[in-house]
Structure 1
Amino acid sequence: MNVPVSAPVHITAAGSALPGEPVDNATLSHALGVNAEWIDVFIGTRTRHFARDLTTGEVRWSLADLCARAAADALEAGGTDPAEVEFLVLGTATPDHLMPATVNQVADRLGLDHLPTYQLQSGCAGAVQALSVARHLIGSGEFTTGLAIGGDVCTKHLDLRRNLAEAAPGDLVNCVLFGDGAGAAVLSSQPREEAVALRSVLNRCTGLGREPGQIIDWFGLADRHESRQALTEDYKAIEESVPVMAVEILWELLDDLRWSPDDLDFLLPPQLSGRMTQLITEQLGVPGAREISCVADTGNNGNALPFLQVEQLLKEITSGQKALAVAVESSKWIKAGFALERL
């Protein structure tokens, strides 16, 4: 599972970008005509951030804007000169365009040129995939320093004109679950005072023969007038499958590293919603590990979330402590996760 790398890889810093002021459930309820109490109880997310103005529908931030801000924040936090960056990897499910790739727009905003860029089209596993690619690029010895970035602007799929008064609960989930944001991490072969070692990364598609749990569609000239929704998901399947897969990921990573649950000081559980994250954390059964979660305050902003968790972790983890992160992508049932250790 965990392909060895020839050089050690460290996360030296992380950064994030959340657009605008937090939007609470009362404000979201007023804008969409959705019951605020239902959001509190069923979703369990208190606030989220939107790149669009809920009143006017105006797009105020692009994904490239947010990713560039998060990357610049990470570089500043780690005292890394942008000139040291040798590659960029971006994981997202909601690029600004099919072309040019958003990662290249981010490089442009950061003033970076003449370097490799990679964009991975993926949902909640995209951030972990970005870490995996960065880890192998550095671990091969070809590069010393790079940026792994994850972000999503989910509100591009939110129809503010739609009447949700009689929508089914499973349909309403898509309108209240998500938020927008970006996160980034600086990876390096050179350990620094605040660095953590990236010990293992898991990325495995396990959806053979299964229907996707989530679909994000796009429309061209030939089908733009079709009535199908751009975003659909089987929330019942997600509720049933994600907790089971999360436990499997936890034990696969622990077995690979020969760690025991008692070795863990921190747990970064999947960030689906406030309610789902709480249930999953309970089922993971690692009471001795401190939970690092953010989704109840940020909303589900997809590929930003693992980096937001890492940013918080770096402020708390101390020498000798270990952390394990779990992420599940329901689009085609992908197991993902990674392990960190403060030197």
Structure 2
Amino acid sequence: MAESVVHISSVGTALPGPAVTNAELGAVLGLGPVFEQWVDGFIGTKTRHLAIDLATGEVRYSLADLGETAARQALSAAGIQAGEVDVVIMGTSMPDSLLPTTVNLIADRLGIAQVPTFQIQSGCTGAMQALYLATRLLGTGGHRTALVLGGDVCAKHVDLGIDYAKLPPSEWVNTVLFGDGVGAVLLRAAEPGQRGVRLNRVLTTFTGLGEAPGQRVEWFGLRDRGEDLPAVQEDYKAIEERVPVLALEIVDELLDGLNWKRSDVDYLLPPQLSPKMTGRIVAGLDMPAAAEIGCVERTGNTANALPFFQLEELLPRLTAGDRALAVSVESSKWIKGGFTLEVL
């Protein structure tokens, strides 16, 4: 049996609550104008959306809440009923709980049952890993419609009781950099030559053999939750050095696999670590003819949701013959991810 091609039918996204500005966040953290100046100069993010109410500390949205909203949007946009979905896959680094898995909570809320479900535990390339698995399952002809989700909610790692004024700016970064959100995409198997937005290559490759992790996120149990261990640790110097190099490798691998040239790409979906970092990465990729699709300045770094927010912005712009390339890098143990698509 010949492999099916995979088309993107629709995208849905969900953000929790209103946008939080740097001024609002700085006021809550007790940091004032110096905080705004630091964020503008070092990171570049203007707003982000948070699942936690900064006034009360109450968690208002779970990953499952946002995932359900994004999935329903995608289903509605594609005109597909939940019963037509025959595989559900989610990529996340911060599920609501270790068990039950968040993907199954979302499937239950949607009324999707008696189908395979998968939850991939990964950082910023978890969405790419989920897309990779979905394309393989659809490509074999065993499944016709896949609901793929990616997202993260960092509320469990936000501690409003910390005196941030006593911390160095290097320890403000995670509070500033990340935002919460979920994205969902519906993929469908199609016949060769069928018109649509074809997802023609998905890349995910572990490259961190023998290298120290660039990021660690801890999960605390009864034994270790009282230990003086930071919940999140990042080696920003390593990230700043390694991510642009890996991004360039990803572009080369994706283009070589399709015999495309840089000038053949109409749209570039670059890594969305922060606006400042993204700008440096894009400059190094040397693809001036490709229009950049980005959202991190207004959403913050939503990790596994970001490729879906980029796709949501991209799809309405596409016309026949257009080609796009996406790049994603995970620093936890140095994973390369990306995809290419074209309009047939």
The two structures share one fold, judged by TM-score above 0.5:
yes
Retained in 2: the 8 A contact 1:24–1:46? yes
Q: Given the alignment, which residue of 1, 6, 11 partners 2:3? A: 6
Retained in 2: the 8 A contact 1:13–1:194? no
Report the counterpart of residue 206 of structure 1 in structure 2: 207
**Are 2:270 and 1:269 equivalent residues in the alignment?**
yes
Report the counterpart of residue 29 of structure 2 in structure 1: 32
* C-alpha separation in 1, matches of 2:194 and 2:283: 33
Report the counterpart of residue 157 of structure 1 in structure 2: 157
Report the counterpart of residue 290 of structure 1 in structure 2: 291
Give the SS at the match of 1:56.
Answer: coil
Letter in 1 for 2:325: L
Report how far residue 194 of structure 1 moved: 8.4
Letter in 1 for 2:308: F
Report the counterpart of residue 119 of structure 2 in structure 1: 119
**Are 2:310 and 1:313 equivalent residues in the alignment?**
no
Report the counterpart of residue 128 of structure 1 in structure 2: 128
- Write out per-residue CA displacement over residues 20-77 of structure 1, whole angstroms, 9 at most, x where no aligned residue: 0000100011111331111111110000000110111101000011111111111111
Report how far residue 172 of structure 1 moved: 1.4
* C-alpha separation in 2, matches of 1:47 and 1:81: 34
Change (3 A) 1:181 1:193: farther
> What is the number of residues matched between the two proteins?
339
Letter in 2 for 1:341: E
Letter in 1 for 2:127: A
Query: How do 1:208-287 residues align onto structure 2 when only pairs under 5 Å count?
Result: 208-287=209-288
Letter in 1 for 2:93: A
* C-alpha separation in 2, matches of 1:153 and 1:128: 18
Structure 1, unmatched stretches of 5+, are: none
Report how far residue 212 of structure 1 moved: 0.5
Letter in 1 for 2:311: V
Change (3 A) 1:264 1:136: same
Letter in 1 for 2:97: H
Retained in 1: the 8 A contact 2:179–2:301? yes
Report how far residue 197 of structure 1 moved: 0.4
Structure 2, unmatched stretches of 5+, are: none
Retained in 2: the 8 A contact 1:13–1:195? no
Report how far residue 193 of structure 1 moved: 9.4
Change (3 A) 1:167 1:193: farther
Report the counterpart of residue 72 of structure 1 in structure 2: 72
* C-alpha separation in 1, matches of 2:84 and 2:196: 16
Report how far residue 169 of structure 1 moved: 2.7
Letter in 1 for 2:292: E
Retained in 1: the 8 A contact 2:52–2:59? yes
* C-alpha separation in 1, matches of 2:118 and 2:178: 25
* C-alpha separation in 2, matches of 1:272 and 1:227: 27
Q: % of aligned pairs identical?
A: 55
Report the counterpart of residue 15 of structure 1 in structure 2: 12
* C-alpha separation in 2, matches of 1:73 and 1:156: 26
Query: How do 1:54-65 residues align onto structure 2 when only pairs under 5 Å count?
Result: 54-65=54-65
* C-alpha separation in 2, matches of 1:132 and 1:173: 31
Report the counterpart of residue 49 of structure 2 in structure 1: 49
Report how far residue 168 of structure 1 moved: 2.4
* C-alpha separation in 1, matches of 2:142 and 2:57: 45
* C-alpha separation in 1, matches of 2:208 and 2:312: 30
Q: Relative to structure 2, which stretch is displaced further, 177-186 or 272-281?
A: 272-281
* C-alpha separation in 2, matches of 1:132 and 1:199: 11
Report how far residue 18 of structure 1 moved: 0.4
* C-alpha separation in 2, matches of 1:311 and 1:9: 18
Retained in 2: the 8 A contact 1:194–1:314? no
Retained in 2: the 8 A contact 1:249–1:336? yes
* C-alpha separation in 1, matches of 2:166 and 2:281: 30
Give the SS at the match of 1:9.
Answer: strand
Retained in 2: the 8 A contact 1:155–1:179? no
Retained in 1: the 8 A contact 2:4–2:190? no
Letter in 1 for 2:6: V
Give the SS at the match of 2:146.
Answer: strand
Report the counterpart of residue 81 of structure 1 in structure 2: 81
The runs of 4+ residues in structure 1 deviating greater than 4 Å are 191-194
Report the counterpart of residue 90 of structure 1 in structure 2: 90
